[in-house]
Structure 1
Amino acid sequence: MTAARVGVFGLLGSGNLGNDGSLEAVLGHLRAAHPEAVVDALCGGPETVTARYGIPATRLHWYRGEYRTASRAGAVAGKGLGKLVDVVRTAAWVRRHDVVIVPGMGVLEATLPLRPWGFPYALFLLCAGGRLFGTRVALVGVGADTIRDRPTRALVRRAAKLAAYRSYRDTLSRDAMRAMGVDTTRDEVYPDLAFALPTPPAAPAPGTVCVGVMDFHGSNDDRGRADEIHRRYLDGTTRFVRALAAEGRRVRLLTGDRCDAPVVAAILDAVGSPLVTAAEAASLTDLMREAAAADAVVATRYHNLVCALKAGTPTLALSYAAKSDALMERMGLGAYRHPAREVDADRLLAQFRALERESAELRRILAERNRAAARRLEEQFTALTTALFPGADHTHVLREAS
């Protein structure tokens, strides 16, 4: 039997650890269940993806400055030309594949600032190409929300309708797509793909608290007050970290995207304590290892929360979107949430005390919920095989695409 040609697609290798963790989970499944598959990527950081995961990769956008603000005529022209070139590039790439997988990520949402002609447009081109050439495009364990911006909503809705397979990382996402006019009758909900990654062994560091920070400026609808939201978030988080350090607690600052580095630097500078250090995490596995060694975690980014919860560590969410609330509820920690838009250091500290008092019970709950998540993800991968690889021969060895 001819080996299946499988593409993976998304903002992968671009510095977001959550996106790359979803890719790692899907590649693990492909290598175990479909070792004959020939795999390559169309992604944001092709050099990183090739170096880290050993698969050939092509740059997602023809214009290299796609996600930088275009302030000069040349940049504007380059972006405009890039939209036309990407129609041809994406179509040609899709046509070479039997299956294209979009692994996890919040590809159907706008919980962070987003322009319609960036990734939503790229996703639409992918799904339209799949429908045109008969390539099965699968949106696997993705996140979604109800989008208010009309151009973005139109592109996301159409892309979702054109996909051959859809599953979501929470019920909230499926409900949002249904509200935007997508028939979700056959779409299933499974835990985030990162829960399929192996949990590394812990190296306990008693007394340590991990604080996951984020370059947070609000959502796509908050552009007018983005600076105000960011200042409030940074001030409240800094005060919380300072209070922990004043009590002699060791604090490890975690990130989830390279853009979070300035927030870490600002907190380190403001607190000025040797007890507060920054973790050098290059993957979700690194984040899980940090979380597993801590007494407790307080985190903002969605995949910081995923890693802490999967590690079984009591976790408090600085919640910036409904997806964080849904995750915490599903894992049995719905009571431990604090709004990222209005961080009140005193109230956050009180919630943190309550979290630590219930530590033993919360660890028991998380162990139980993690076992359930593992079972559901096994079902997800079985369903994916049935939908995308009917009658596949599993006797070959994984080869790189040429």
Structure 2
Amino acid sequence: MRSVRVGVFGLLGSGNLGNDGSLEAVLGHLRAEHPEAVVDALCGGPEAVTARFGIPATRLHWYRGEYRTASRAGAVVGKGLGKLVDVFRTAAWVRRHDVVIVPGMGVLEATLPLRPWGFPYALFLLCASGRLLGTPVALVGVGAGAIRDRPTRALVRWSARLAAYRSYRDTQSRDAMRAMGVDTARDEVHPDLAFALPTPASPPADPPGPVCVGVMAFHGGNDDRARAEEIHRRYLDGTIRFVRTLVEDGRRVRLLTGDEVDAPVVAAILDAVDSPLVTAAETSSLADLMKETAAADSVVAIRYHNLICALKTGTPVLAVTYAAKSDALMAGMGLGTYCHPARALDADRLLEQFRDLEKRSAELRQTLTERNQDAARRLARHLTALTTALLPRTTHAPAYRKAS
């Protein structure tokens, strides 16, 4: 009996720490429970995935400039040809596997700017190939949301329908897919995959500890393109005012990101608030982010997985929310009242909420301890049941190894 062949798929290794954290959680579970599995990836950043996780990886798109705007005739032709070539590349990759897992990520949503012929098309090719070739495609702990753009909505809906298995990171994701015409009667909901990651120990900081402020290159969502710059300017100006007030109060501030594209926002804040009290953390994983949040007195953050890192380390957090997924996450962890809209960020109101958060710090830390224990138990049960069903054990010795 040969070893089971598992493929993982997504915008992995592309600079988004949350996406890579979801992959890390799934690989950790496979290594512990199915060490016989042979794993490789079809992903956005194959070199980064192989270097960090030690598994072979293939580039997601044949055309290397897929996510760059095509302004020249050659680029337009290259993108068009790439769509055709990727049909056969994706099918050939899927055929080599016993199961393909899409680990977490918001693959069924469009809460950030998204073109239908980019990742939604790639996901559709994956799920269609799986159905045609008899390879189960499992969408595990994914995020979903209502989509107004018709081509994107159609591709997402058909991807979900063609997948052999679906589970979601919150109830509203399942509800969104049901509203788009997907039968979700057998679909499960469980905590985000990042809750399966170990929580790193962090030495306590000298009191008072820093305030971590997670930032983002936020320009609104897919439906906000016409006012993207206005939304970004309001968000950035409000964040700068908030950080400046913390510094005037003598507080240390650590700026956090969750994606490489957030670097200009950090630079803008450092330039506007010229103070040694404001520093930028260098993070390359969710473990790095958790070390930062664990050492903080409190956290104010916008990116979804920045919020998870704070919640998982038991640090009181105020969410600057741009999508319903963040509101649902905060409510599920007992901090539903500490949400602030990113599109209408008001520095004065944000400060009021922040000060109330810090007053209730001890109480909220106890709440988070209890909620984290429950989330970890629920997610462990789900992953064990899922992989036991999809990946029957073989009699081979462990074959899960690093790529040579």
Maintained 8 Å contact 2:54/2:403: no
Alignment match, 2:172: 172
Write the distance in 2 (CA, Å) between the matches of 1:134 and 1:197: 31
Match of 2:374 in 1: 372
CA displacement, residues 227-268 of structure 1 (integer Å, 9 cap, x when unaligned): 000000000000000000111100000000000000000000
Equivalent position of 1:184 in the other structure: 184
Question: Quick check: 1:204 aligned with 2:204?
Answer: yes
The whole-number CA distance in structure 1 between the counterparts of 2:179 and 2:392 is 31
Contact 2:3–2:399 under 8 Å retained in 1 = no
Which amino acid in 1 is paired with 2:333?
M
2:268 corresponds to: 266
Tell me, yes or no, if the aligned pair for 1:38 and 1:400 is still in contact at 8 Å. no
Write the distance in 1 (CA, Å) between the matches of 2:175 and 2:265. 33
**Equivalence for 1:310:** 312
Distance 1:77 1:122 in 2: 18
SS at match of 1:342: coil
Query: How far apart in 1 are the matches of 2:175 and 2:291?
Result: 33
Equivalents in 2 of 1:391, 1:288: separation in Å? 33
Report whether the alignment pairs 1:79 with 2:79: yes
Q: Report if aligned partners of 1:38, 1:401 keep a CA contact under 8 Å in 2.
A: no
Give runs of aligned pairs for residues 218-297 of structure 1, distance below 5 A.
218-297=220-299
Contact 2:299 2:317 in 1 (8 A): yes
- 1:143 corresponds in structure 2 to 143
Match of 2:360 in 1: 358
Q: Does 1:214 align with 2:216?
A: yes
Aligned equivalents of 2:5, 2:183: Cα separation in 1: 28
Distance in 2, Cα, partners of 1:255 & 1:157: 31
1:202 Cα shift? 1.7
Q: 2:350 aligns with which of 343, 348, 368?
A: 348
* CA distance in structure 1 between the partners assigned to 2:122 and 2:382 by the alignment: 25
Please name the residue that 1:26 is paired with. Answer: 26
Residues 321-367 of structure 1: CA deviation (Å, up to 9, x unaligned) = 00000000000000001101111111101100000000000000000
CA shift for structure 1 position 204: 1.7
Letter of the aligned partner of 1:67 in structure 2?
Answer: Y
Identity score, percent? 81
Give the Å deviation of 1:395: 4.6
- SS of equivalent to 2:14: coil
**Over residues 175-206 of structure 1, what are the superposed CA-to-partner deviations in whole Å (9 max), with x where a residue is unaligned?**
00000011111110000000000000022223
Count of matched residue positions in the alignment of Structure 1 and Structure 2: 402
Q: Secondary structure at the match of 1:185?
A: coil
In structure 1, distance between residues paired with 2:300 and 2:354 = 8
CA distance in 2, matches of 1:274, 1:218: 31
Do 1:299 and 1:316's aligned partners in 2 also have CA atoms closer than 8 Å?
A: yes
Contact 1:11 1:45 in 2 (8 A): yes
Cα contact 2:12–2:19 (8 A) shared by 1:
yes
- Are 1:123 and 2:132 matched, yes or no? no
Code of the aligned partner of 1:231: R
Q: Tell me, yes or no, if the aligned pair for 2:102 and 2:138 is still in contact at 8 Å.
A: yes
Aligned to 1:155: 155
Residues of 1 paired with 2:386 and 2:48: CA distance?
Answer: 26
Which residue in the other structure is 2:37 paired with?
37
Normalised to the residue count of structure 2, the TM-score between the two structures is: 0.98
Alpha-carbon distance, 1:397 to partner: 3.8
Determine the C-alpha separation between the residues in 2 that align with 1:136 and 1:388: 8
Which stretches in structure 1 are left out of the alignment for 5+ residues? none
1:391 Cα shift? 5.1
SS at match of 1:341: coil
- When normalised by structure 1's length, the TM-score is 0.98
Structure 2 unaligned segments of length 5 or more: list them.
none
Deviation, structure 1 residue 312:
0.4
- How far apart are 1:387 and its partner, in Å? 2.8
Partners of 2:88 and 2:63 in 1: CA distance: 13
Q: What is the alpha-carbon distance in structure 1 between the residues aligned to residue 146 and residue 395 of structure 2?
A: 40
Contact 2:293 2:299 in 1 (8 A): yes
CA distance in 1, matches of 2:269, 2:395: 53
2:53 corresponds in structure 1 to: 53
Taking the aligned partners of 1:203 and 1:399, their CA distance within structure 2 comes to 33
Q: Does the aligned pair in 1 maintain the 2:141–2:191 contact within 8 Å?
A: yes
Shift of 1:400: 5.1
- Runs of 4+ aligned residues of structure 1 deviating over 4 Å after TM superposition are 391-395
1:90 is aligned to 2:81: no
Partner of 1:338: 340
| Alignment counterpart, residue 319 of structure 1, candidates 321, 327, 334 | 321
Output one character per residue of 1:55-111: Cα deviation in whole Å (capped at 9) or x when no partner. Answer: 000000011111111111111111111100100100000000001000000000000
Contact 1:213 1:260 in 2 (8 A): yes
Q: 1:262 to 1:246 in 2, by over 3 A?
A: same
Q: Structure 1 pair 340/394, CA: closer, same or farther in 2 (3 Å)?
A: farther
Q: Assess if the C-alpha contact under 8 Å between 1:212 and 1:298 holds in 2.
A: yes
SS in structure 1 at match of 2:337 = coil
Question: What's the RMSD between the two structures over aligned residues?
Answer: 1.1
Q: Distance in 2 between matches of 1:394 and 1:213?
A: 46
Structure 2 equivalent of residue 389 of structure 1: 391
Q: Deviations over 1:99-152 (max 9, x none)?
A: 100000000000000000000000000001101111111000000001111100
Q: For structure 1, which segment, 382-391 or 112-121, has the greater mean C-alpha deviation from structure 2 after superposition? A: 382-391
Stretch of structure 1 that moved more, 390-399 or 189-198: 390-399
